[in-house]
Each structure stands twice: as structure tokens, then as C-alpha cells.
Structure 1
Amino acid sequence: MKLISGLAFAAICLVAPLSSVQAQDLTGLDVTSDAFTKSELTRDQIEAAIRALPDGKILDLSGKSLNGIDLSKLDLRRVKLQSARINKANFKDADLEGVVLDQAWALNSDFSGANLKGASLFASQFGGGKFDGANFANALVAADFSNASIKNATFDGANLSADEKNQSMGLMRGAFKSATLDGSSFKGANMARVMMEFASLKGTDLSGANLRKGEFAATDFTGANVAGANFDGADLNSARIGNMKNAESAKNMDKAKNRDRANVN
């Protein structure tokens, strides 16, 4: 689909996005400023703009400040949110299938029950957010979810891995340090080099997932289904692995790092 270029949406589309470096680094940024705490638009304005979209066009909200806005239950599939500042925003049960959220700031936002199938979340900040029941199936999830609640979410077929051939911005990958992922599904997901230190993966479905070189120090795998999961080079230092399900059919468990330091009780 093509971006809107008409005068009707000029005010919405002219704001330049944040740089990719800023999207991963808080240094030097004033996250208490209006740009990170207030909204330039209202829900009504965004709904009206979506309704007025011509066929084949999308509403480009790249770089906009939409902090604290309530967009819950809206169909946002024709909206682009690259580099948008959507901190403490409400996207609960919103439809964001295929939406570009690259380099977005969404600290402490609520995406519970949101549909993010096939969405692009590259170098984005979702720390402290709520994603319980969200659907990330087949999405690109190279974003920071530190301290987030992501219970009973779906990541089936998603790509959480690092693109080792294109790392001019550093090692961008799914980062879930101290996140709660209990009951979530990662069937067939690419989780190579994922960061999940101190995360809770209780009761998750990791069947067929690629965990190669993932960082799982002190991660709790209690009750996780690891049938066919690839642990080649995964760091299990102090991880709780004693009560994993189908561990006998996991791949390359003998090649995992620090397995001798894992908690098997």
C-alpha cells in the first residue's frame, strides 16, 4: 500500500522519525518531555483519518507523539507507527496485524489481547508493558520487552533472532530480561541469540523453537515443553531446567553452555 501524501493528512505525516540509534539508547533523551509524555492527536482524530483513507493508502503516524492515547479495540491495520512515541498508551485488543512499529517508544503501554500477527517490531522499546494474550505469530520481534508481562501470548513462527548479517546498529534481537512469559507459545519460533535472562518461561510451549546461543541465565523453564527445541550454544547458567517437559527430545542439549551450572531440581 502507498503512503498518504495529500494535504488532508499533511500535518500528520510531516513529522520526522527518531533516529534508529535513539530508539535503542536512553542516553541524552529527556523521557519526561512533552514528546514522550503527551499526545499530538486524539482518538477521534485518528479514527476520522482512518475512515477518510482512500483505498490502498495507509495513515503514516511515524514519529508522532501519541503518549497516553487510548486506541483500544481499534482496527489499526492501515496505520504506520514507525518511531512513534506511544508510551503509556492503550492498545488493548487493537488489531495491529502487519503494522510497522520499528523503533517505536512504547514504554509501559498496554497491548493486552492485541493482534500483532506479522507486525514488524525492530529496535522498539516495550519495557514494562502489558502483552498478556497478545498474538505475535509470524512477526519480527527484535525489540526490548524487559520487565514486561507477556503471559499466554502467541509467538508461533515469529522471528525473535538477531540478524547477524545486518548489525550496524548493534545486536538487535528480542530482549526479555526479567519478563514474565508464563503460558506463552513459541512453537517453531526463531529465538537464536534471544536475551531472556531472569525471565519466567513457566508452562511455555517451545516445541520446535530455535534457541541457539540464546541467553537464559537464571531463566525459569518449569513445565515448559521443549520437544524438538534446539539448545545449541544456549547459556543455561543458573536456569531452572529440572521440570521441563519432553527434555529427552530436545536437540543439542549436550551443547548448551553452562548446563552443569543449571538448576535441575
Structure 2
Amino acid sequence: MLFRLAFALVSMTALLVDPIDAVSQDMLRSVDLNSSEMSTSEMTRAEVETLLKAAPQDAADQSSADLQGKRLSHLDLSGLDFSGSNLRLVKLNRTSLKGARFDRAILNQAWLIDADLTGASLVKASLLGTQMQRANLGGADLNSARITADLSGASLIGAKLAGADLSADMRNQSMGLMRGVLKSADLRNADLNGANLARADLQFAQLQNANLANCNLSRADLSGADLSNTNLAGADFTETDLASALLPSPAALEKARNLDKARNLNLARRLP
């Protein structure tokens, strides 16, 4: 009886440690990224352009094209305007989307692994459960976007995420704790002013010279992250995990809120 109880407790603990990681890893383990489903396209660029132009316009005079579930991997779709479009479950792995527009687009559960979104605009886009590992979002605009995507290893150098919501979805946990995952992501010089990063995973993220002013970092995991020269004015560190994180100068830390309530603050590294 005691053995069964101990086993149950260990199993529950394993699930609670990082459920979103388990979900993402399980998805990738069960998917062959080299399969035709994940690495080919069923449309040409010209056909995508025609579909976007033929779609009815919404109140903002933007396309409301329906591309749900389409295979569009390995295409060059740079510069196209997908604003307002339904791209749920679409496959865009290793697709060039440089300068493309996805404002208010629905990209829930889409696949954009290794996609190039340099300079793309995703203002107010919906990225729920989206797979974006190693994607390039350098200089991209994700202001006010809702993001519970896996951006592990992604490049977001100079990206704009002001007002973006990467917090955990506490209402829908049937597949684990869905939240923004930015493990080992490069966020140097990124603007996250006022972003909601509650419970977000930023382990080993590079945040040098980033703007985290007024961010909600409560219960976020910043263990191993590099926060040197980061603007933390008004950032809330309530129960934030800072184990092995590199913190900025004491002067910068003085402007943060609730730093005394952070977890593992004694294990953080500090700049002089």
C-alpha cells in the first residue's frame, strides 16, 4: 500500500513539474517532420496569393481567407498578407514568411518549426498551442498577441512583444499547462513592455538589453536566464524562479517589484 502511494505521488510530481514540456515533447516524438505531411506543400505561392485575394474582406478591409489545415511547408510566402485569416493547424515548417502579415490571424495549433518570420507582423494574432521551435522572429511585431506557443530555441532578437500575453491558460488544462515556452530563446533587445509572462517558461533565455518594464513575471521560470542590462522597472517577480539566472546591476533591480518574493533568489548570479 505504501509503495503504491509513493509511486502515485512521484507520478503526480512528474506531471506537475512541467506539463507543457511533456505535451510538446510527446507531440514531436509522435510526428515525423520529414514526412510529406509535415515537409511538403499542397499549394504553390501563386495559388495561395489567389486564395488570399479571392477571400471576402472583413470590416477592416483585410482578407478572411480560410487555410485551416493546409500543407504549406518549404514555400516562399514572404511578404504576403494573411491578416485576419484562419491558419489553424496549418503546416508552415521551414517556410519563408519574411515580412508577411498575420495581424489578428488565427494560428492556433499551427506548425512553424524552423520557419523564417523575420520582420513579420503578428499584431493581436492568436498563437495557442502553436509549434514554433527554432523559428526566426527577428524584428517581428507580436504586440498584443496571445501566445501559448512553444518557441524553444527561437530567435526573437529585437522583436516587439509589448502587451503580449504569454501567460498560462488556467481555464483549459486538458493537455497540460498551456503557456508561452521560450526555453533557450534569444530575446536580446526585444521589447516586452507590459507583457504578461505569468508562469511562462524562460529557462536559459537570452534577455540582454531587453525591455521587461512593467512585465508580469509572477511564477515564471527564469532559471539560467541572462538578464544582464535588462530593463526591469516595474516588473513583478512574485514567486519567479531565478535559480542560476544572471541578474543586472543592483540599481536596475531596485526598480523591480516583489523581488524579495522571488524563488531561489539566493541561487541567482549578480552583476557588480
TM-score of the superposed pair, with normalisation by structure 1: 0.89
Aligned to 2:71: 65
Further displaced range: 212-221 or 23-32? 23-32
SS across alignment from 1:121: strand
Q: How does 1:57-96 map to 2 (within 5 A)?
A: 58-96=64-102
Paired residue type of 2:239: G
Is 1:190 aligned to 2:219, yes or no?
no
For the 8 Å contact 1:150–1:182, the answer to whether it is kept is yes
For the 8 Å contact 2:134–2:155, the answer to whether it is kept is yes
Equivalent pairs counted in the alignment come to: 245
State the alpha-carbon separation in 2 of the partners of residues 55 and 25 from structure 1: 35
How far is the alpha carbon of 1:177 from its aligned partner? 0.5
Aligned to 1:16: none
Aligned to 1:150: 156
Aligned to 2:186: 180
Aligned to 2:174: 168
What are the Cα deviations for residues 45-77 of structure 1, in whole angstroms up to 9, with x where unaligned?
A: 011112222344722111111001111111111
Which of 212, 216, 220 is equivalent to 2:222?
Answer: 216
Which of 194, 200, 206 is equivalent to 2:206?
Answer: 200
Aligned to 1:229: 235
Further displaced range: 169-178 or 27-36? 27-36
How far is the alpha carbon of 1:251 from its aligned partner? 0.6
What do you get for the CA RMSD once the two structures are aligned? 1.6
Q: How does 1:42-53 map to 2 (within 5 A)?
A: 42-53=44-55
What are the Cα deviations for residues 117-153 of structure 1, in whole angstroms up to 9, with x where unaligned?
A: 0000010111011000001100001100111111000
More helix as a share of residues: 2
Paired residue type of 1:32: N
Paired residue type of 2:196: N
Aligned to 1:239: 245
For the 8 Å contact 2:24–2:150, the answer to whether it is kept is no
Further displaced range: 243-252 or 38-47? 243-252
| Residues 213/35 of structure 1: CA separation in 2 closer, same or farther (3 Å cut) | same
Aligned to 1:3: none
| Residues 53/24 of structure 1: CA separation in 2 closer, same or farther (3 Å cut) | farther
| Residues 43/244 of structure 1: CA separation in 2 closer, same or farther (3 Å cut) | farther
Paired residue type of 2:200: V
How far is the alpha carbon of 1:258 from its aligned partner? 0.3
Further displaced range: 70-79 or 227-236? 70-79
Q: How does 1:17-56 map to 2 (within 5 A)?
A: 25-56=27-58
Paired residue type of 1:119: A
How far is the alpha carbon of 1:24 from its aligned partner? 6.9
What are the Cα deviations for residues 199-239 of structure 1, in whole angstroms up to 9, with x where unaligned?
A: 10000000000000000111000000000000000000000
| Residues 245/166 of structure 1: CA separation in 2 closer, same or farther (3 Å cut) | farther
- Which segments of structure 1 move beyond 4 Å, counting only runs of 4 or more? 21-24
Percent of aligned pairs sharing the same letter:
38
Q: Structure 2: 5+ residue runs without aligned partners?
A: 1-22
Q: Structure 1: 5+ residue runs without aligned partners?
A: 1-20
| Residues 149/52 of structure 1: CA separation in 2 closer, same or farther (3 Å cut) | same
How far is the alpha carbon of 1:246 from its aligned partner? 2.8
